[in-house]
Amino acid sequence: MICLIPAGCATYQAKPLKPAAFETQFQARTLTNAKLKKFIARQPIKLLPGFPQVQNLSTLVAAGWYYSPALRVQLAQLDVDAANMITASQSPNPTVAFSPTYAAKAGPGISPWILGFNFNIPIETAGRRADRMAQAKALTQAGRYDLGQIAWNVRQAVRQALIGYAFARRRLRLLRQEVHTTAMILSLIQSRFQAGGISRPVYTAAEIQAHESELALVAAQGQARQRRMQLAAAISLPGRALRNIRFTYLQLMKTPPVRALNMKQLSRAALINRMDIQSLLAQYQAAQAALKLQIARQYPNIQLGPGYSFNQGANEFTLGFNMALPIFNQNQGAIAAANAQRLVIAAELEQKQTTVITQLRSALSYYRSALRQWRTANAIERQAQTQLRATRSAFKAGARSRLALAESQLGLNTFAQASLQSKFSAVVALGNLEDLLEAPLGDTPKMPKGTNP
């Protein structure tokens, strides 16, 4: 095909991919590179003193958006949607045909050539172009909502990984204290056992308890390393990129009271905020436009075909006109399919909304229960702290032994671990609630919109 307007012609440029080089590029990713810092600085995020060596949830989420391969895929898909929009807005090009004919037995003085030119000018009817553009526009909007959905998924993955890592580190500190305390108890019991003041079963039980604490510490160390790797994976970073990085967890520890969460308001917010619901609404609009387009195709397009021929010295002009005759079908099959597709999307939207509302009520109930459990565990921990202070005072006064003080410290550690676990459950429950709303709760800043890594 000849491009008649050179300025409007596209040219091909090869862009070969090098999969082998990706490993090097991936391992070079960090949280401190200049481009990432500029990207985070453009977001509505308050940077902490010491950034980028000090990171919180907001900055880590922004880093996850910057490096996310899923976001890059969807951004590329938006370019495809934009190209489809251009295609939908285009009108069909006219065509021209040139058919020279040579008459071998032309009479004397008569040109043997018959030169014919025929043009074909298509005319679209019934608003096809407007329907195509409406469909492409709606699909483009759905793609933007899909981009927002992926951005939210990245945020939640980073949040969950950071929560897991934060509580794994806190549990690690408690287990180190437990190992120290059980070792102290074993040493004190061993002295009494050697002096004959304690039976072997009591000594053996203390020995087993010390070994169990050591095993729990080793397991917790492995879990903390695993949680750290999960956090790096959620940000699409190599594990070593988190070395020498400090994290603050204040945003994660916010647990708003249940009385501040109204179920009716939450349901309304979920139906408005969720990107997948908005995407389905946009897809429904696209299905509406697709149905209109198929209905428009009941009516045939018109083809105008003016022509000219130089027939052995005579100038001849023709005016052609043709159109398809909708005799055997009136596009019923395509219309029925488009209508069915619209019904499918409507049913999917109803299913999604029903699922969200029912799951939201369950998530709110679980969050309420987790908060109540944490408050109870926290109250017991405070009682254990009071008891430890009393035991320490009695020890200083000579009324209690060092063994009793160590056992009181161990009891406090046990209740602190239970309180930590219940707090972890409450924070996870809040995350599940946020995930259903696709909106942060508490003091966590909202996700920037229109993010473009």
| Domain-located, residue 47 | no
Predicted local confidence at residue 21, as pLDDT: 86
The residue segments making up the domain with residue 130 are 55-437
Whether 130 contacts 219, CB under 8 Å: no
| Domain-located, residue 222 | yes
| Domain-located, residue 1 | no
How crowded is the C-beta side of 310, counted as CA atoms within 13 Å?
Answer: 9
| Domain-located, residue 36 | no
Q: What is the pLDDT of residues 116-141, one digit of tens each?
A: 888 888 999 989 999 999 999 999 99
Q: Per-residue pLDDT averaged across 371-384, rounded? A: 95
Evaluate if residue 444 carries a pLDDT over 50: no
| Domain-located, residue 299 | yes
Find the length of the chain. Answer: 453
Q: What is the model's pTM?
A: 0.86
Return the bridge partners of 320, or none: 305
Q: Residue 419: give its domain's CATH number.
A: 1.20.1600.10
Residue 192 main-chain phi, psi, to 5 deg: -70, -35
Q: What is the pLDDT of residues 72-117, one digit of tens each?
A: 999 999 999 999 999 999 998 998 988 888 777 767 777 777 788 8
Least confident of 191-200, 276-285, 304-313: 304-313
Q: Per-residue pLDDT averaged across 417-446, rounded? A: 84
User: What are 175's two structure tokens?
Assistant: 């287990």
Tell the residue number behind the tokens 């009136």, with chain if given. Answer: 330
Predicted local confidence at residue 100, as pLDDT: 84
Tell the residue number behind the tokens 């949680």, with chain if given. Answer: 227
| Domain-located, residue 17 | no
Q: What is the domain count for the chain?
A: 1
Full DSSP string of 407-437: HHHHHHHHHHHHHHHHHHHHHHHHHHHHHHH
| Domain-located, residue 24 | no
User: What are 389's two structure tokens?
Assistant: 């202070």
Return the bridge partners of 219, or none: none
Q: What is the pLDDT of residues 42-55, one digit of tens each?
A: 989 888 899 999 99
Residue 19 main-chain phi, psi, to 5 deg: -60, -35
| Domain-located, residue 215 | yes
Residues 357 and 369: their CA atoms lie apart, in Å, by 19
Residues 434 and 228: their CA atoms lie apart, in Å, by 23
What confidence tier does 446 reach under pLDDT thresholds 50, 70, 90? Answer: very low
Q: Per-residue pLDDT averaged across 253-260, rounded? A: 84
DSSP, res 94: P
